[in-house]
Amino acid sequence: MTKITIYQFRLYDIAHDENLKSRRWATLDAIKNIHAEVLKDTATEVDAPVVATDHAGMTVVDFNPHPRSGFQKAGE
């Protein structure tokens, strides 16, 4: 299976009037497209299908790339 690198990122949250860490992970290209700040030290290699969501290059909300056991999936 193809592996890709994803990152956590910060972007402006109008409701809180500050930059907050996203609840999604994303590729560098996806982060660049939304003009967010990449958190480079969070680089994590995952199977490519985890970013095949409704937002190109991003995981689902609350994705956990470091599950305690089993497969990578959201909400763990």
Q: Is residue 26 part of a domain?
A: yes
Q: Residue 43 belongs to what domain range?
A: 3-63
Q: Is residue 75 part of a domain?
A: no
Q: Is residue 23 part of a domain?
A: yes
Q: What is the pLDDT of residue 72?
A: 54
pLDDT tens, residue by residue, 22-76:
999 999 999 999 999 999 999 999 999 989 878 889 999 999 988 765 555 554 4
- CA pair distance 10, 49, nearest whole angstrom: 23
Q: What is the pLDDT of residue 53?
A: 76
Chain center to CA of 41? 13
Domain count, the chain: 1
Q: What is the pLDDT of residue 75?
A: 47
Q: Is residue 54 part of a domain?
A: yes
- CA pair distance 29, 68, nearest whole angstrom: 28
Q: Is residue 68 part of a domain?
A: no
CA Rg value for the chain: 12
